[in-house]
Amino acid sequence: MNPLNHVAIIMDGNGRWGLKYKKSRNAGHKAGLISVEKIIKESIKRNIKFLTLYAFSTENWKRPKKEINYLFNLLENFLAKKLNKLNNQNIKLNILGTKNFSKKLNFLLKTAEKKTLNNTGLQINLALNYGSKTEIIDAFKKINKNKKKITEKNLITYLHTKDMPDPELLIRTGNTKRLSNFLLWQLAYAEIFFVKKLWPDFNEADYLKVIKEFQSIKRNFGNI
Ligand code: FPP
């Protein structure tokens, strides 16, 4: 059976779901949060060590202010309400990306990271204001600044994902087949699953189906 330590997810389709069922994109984000909770629970059950969720990309700033504010409010409320529960579940929360949000959200994110720092269960990496190209360029700049040799080993120590294995599995919901500037370096050998369902419709059974299929793949890593 293929080891599965790290699952990465592009949670796509909230906006379309919201428009389809509630005539509002934001309602889709709200519903998407319920899927997030389902997938966290199932990841713990499956003993997955790292779950990386693409919640807001550097390109998402192009969206209408109203939608951006709604998303950040949702996140603030989620952290305010659920941080203790996450902590009690031994979850470690880690932010991938640059924290340049409102003072309040920056504070909540830092507090959440600090509070859960020593937890040893599932690590949730929330990719927020994250862009993979910027991450890679910044890593090269740091190599240069520290006068290190450009090697794979040195480069990965400057990525946001240092100290964790690369994802073995990437899931993208929403019937779209692209990577959208997500973990371009780290996904070099990931198995990629594009799922037709919109993120708010994605549930534990869909997740398990993907995991089962992943387990059945013969992973060669260039070998035969
Ligand atoms: C992509 O769907 C989704 C996002 C940009 C935001 C993801 C947010 C959530 C799942 C809920 C909030 C999560 C947390 C952790 C607070 P889209 O809006 O691009 O969908 P579309 O392709 O249908 O427009």
By annotation, the residues acting in catalysis are: 12, 60
How do residues 32-46 score in pLDDT, each as one tens digit? 999 999 999 999 999
Q: How crowded is the C-beta side of 143, counted as CA atoms within 13 Å?
A: 18
Q: Which two tokens stand for residue 209?
A: 């189906």
Which atom of ligand 1 lies at the shortest distance from residue 28's CA? Answer: 18
Indicate the domain borders of the chain.
Answer: 6-131+168-216
Which atom of ligand 1 lies at the shortest distance from residue 33's CA? Answer: 11
Question: Which fold does the domain 6-131+168-216 belong to in CATH?
Answer: Undecaprenyl pyrophosphate synthetase (3.40.1180)
Which residue's alpha carbon is at the smallest distance from atom 10 of ligand 1? 32
* pLDDT, position 224: 87
CA 183 – ligand 1 centroid, Å = 17
Q: Which of 21, 29, 37 has the most ligand 1 atoms within 8 A of CB, as the residue to mutate?
A: 29
* pLDDT, position 1: 86
In order of 52, 145, 156, 174, the CA distances from 148 in angstroms are 28, 8, 12, 41
CA 217 – ligand 1 centroid, Å = 29
Q: Which residues of the chain, if any, have pLDDT below 70? A: none
